[in-house]
Amino acid sequence: MTGTASVSDFYCHQALTGAVPIEKVAETDRVLAFHHTNPSYPVHIVVIPKEHVPSLTNLGNADEEVLHEVVAVVREVAAGVEKEYGACSVTTNLGLYQESKHMHWHVTYRGESEAEIRGMYGNHD
């Protein structure tokens, strides 16, 4: 972890320091994906840069390449979730929606059946 965070940053202060146990899903030199420590869904994975990056729209002192690396890991993790469960949602939050001020992406499978998903989103015809 590089950089410093002067605001609420669970990822720098707890997840990356080992203060809380995490179950890794994928890892590169600059990116970490792990199962959410307090999941909201049956599958809830978080993907973060290992250095402090404030958000998607504010990279702080990070270079643009870190964003590309994070998105590559998000794609890899999301493809695995989609293959296993048939559906996947990927989100990131900004501004007041972003509780922890460290760029992070949620890769989730919410647990709906195929019928429920098709009922909500249609049959793609």
Q: What are the extents of the domains in the chain? A: 10-119
**Tokens 């870190």 identify what position?**
66
The CATH architecture that domain 10-119 belongs to is: 2-Layer Sandwich (3.30)
Helix (H) or strand (E) run with residue 74 in it: helix 64-85
pLDDT tens track for 64-106:
999 999 999 999 999 999 999 999 999 999 988 888 899 999 9
pTM of the model: 0.86
CB atoms within 10 A of CB 124: 5
Across all residues in the chain, what is the average pLDDT?
89
- Residue at 78: amino acid letter: A
pLDDT at 3 over 70: no
pLDDT at 29 over 70: yes
**pLDDT for the residue 5:** 42
Percent of residues, the chain, with pLDDT higher than 70: 92
Beta bridge partners of residue 26, listed in sequence order: 33
CA dist., res. 93 & res. 96, Å (int):
8
pLDDT bin (cut points 50, 70, 90) of residue 117 is confident
Residue 67 tokens, joined: 């964003």
Exposed/middle/buried for residue 10 (C-beta within 10 Å: 0-12, 13-18, 19+):
buried
**Tokens 């098709």 identify what position?**
118
